[in-house]
Structure 1
């Protein structure tokens, strides 16, 4: 079977998705879908894990009047870097591209929530790779690249977002999406 080549080329990975291959089992990135904020092969790469909820909301973590209008927002685990820091991100679909503004203030997050086309998210931490590290991981097939879509913006909190993201790429990737979370239990 020939693997389809409709994935995002590495040089266009910024503003698109990085999906953990079923074989990637490191605990932190298992079944992750990451929105890539920045990527350049010879520079560090930065992203946010979209589909790892912490089970907490902003209000459970921060008791302050400044954050009261954001209290209901669920907090996702953005990655292992600075995971003790909470920050907000605004996602919007613009010119056929998923745009993300990060590290915005509470006031900016509240203002962004007023626009229906925006999705405001809270993250604990982010994901980061040293220069060349992600390139090597891509070469070793630890990750699958995918174009971001309007659906990815709306479905990122769905429990099975990892499998859904793979299914959207191709029939081959649909088969990969059926990989059980722990294949040793079969």
Structure 2
């Protein structure tokens, strides 16, 4: 790693109005890992339309329907591995395949998903299908092209803020009103 490398671990990436990629338009991405080799994150404000009960019925067809009290929305975490479920949660919880990233952890194993369905899983949590990934230098190039704003993340926005307010709440951490940003790119 070079001495001038600035890691964005624990930060939000907030899509600028000019970012039109369908996977990231109007998105907020929580960055879990970022080094000279690339970056890994989860989009935290894009519901998939699926619920945990939809997945539970496939994982445990003999168990019957999921208790509605344990159901939760599943988000599209990003375009990488879109058929893999990931659970973002506080690092104090540990399951098979859990990797801690500071105060939060990511689990990609079925035991965490089943624990959520049974009401014994990590709370709070965010369940996603897929994740976002950038190769070496890719995210830095996107930042230079003003595709993203970045700021230190607040887990309350991930876990407690209504999904439709997450992008504006993340931008507010920077004192930015997204409605006042230009949709045009310019260079000085």
> TM-score normalized by structure 1?
0.74
RMSD: 3.2
Runs of 4+ in 1 over 6 A off after TM superposition: none
Question: Is residue 72 from structure 1 mapped to residue 67 from structure 2 by the alignment?
Answer: no
Aligned to 1:126: 131
- Unaligned runs of 5+ residues in structure 1 are 1-8
Separation in 1, partners of 2:50, 2:83: 13
Question: Is residue 169 from structure 1 mapped to residue 174 from structure 2 by the alignment?
Answer: yes
Contact 1:17–1:146 (Cα < 8 Å) also in 2:
yes
Aligned to 2:87: 88
Contact 1:46–1:128 (Cα < 8 Å) also in 2:
yes
Separation in 1, partners of 2:30, 2:64: 27
Q: C-alpha displacement at 1:66, in angstroms?
A: 10
Match of 2:47 among 28, 49, 53: 53
Aligned to 2:99: none
Aligned to 1:27: 22
Q: C-alpha displacement at 1:100, in angstroms?
A: 2.5
Contact 1:51–1:156 (Cα < 8 Å) also in 2:
no
Classify 1:163/1:72 alpha carbon distance in 2 versus 1 (closer, same or farther; 3 Å).
Answer: same
* Count of residue pairs brought into register by the alignment: 165
Q: C-alpha displacement at 1:110, in angstroms?
A: 2.4
Partner SS for 1:135? helix
Separation in 1, partners of 2:5, 2:120: 34
Contact 1:50–1:157 (Cα < 8 Å) also in 2:
no
Contact 2:37–2:136 (Cα < 8 Å) also in 1:
yes
Partner SS for 1:152? helix
Deviating more after overlay: 17-26 vs 152-161: 152-161
Separation in 2, partners of 1:162, 1:131: 26
Classify 1:67/1:78 alpha carbon distance in 2 versus 1 (closer, same or farther; 3 Å).
Answer: farther
Match of 1:36 among 31, 40, 44: 31
> TM-score normalized by structure 2?
0.73
Classify 1:60/1:179 alpha carbon distance in 2 versus 1 (closer, same or farther; 3 Å).
Answer: farther
Q: C-alpha displacement at 1:56, in angstroms?
A: 1.2
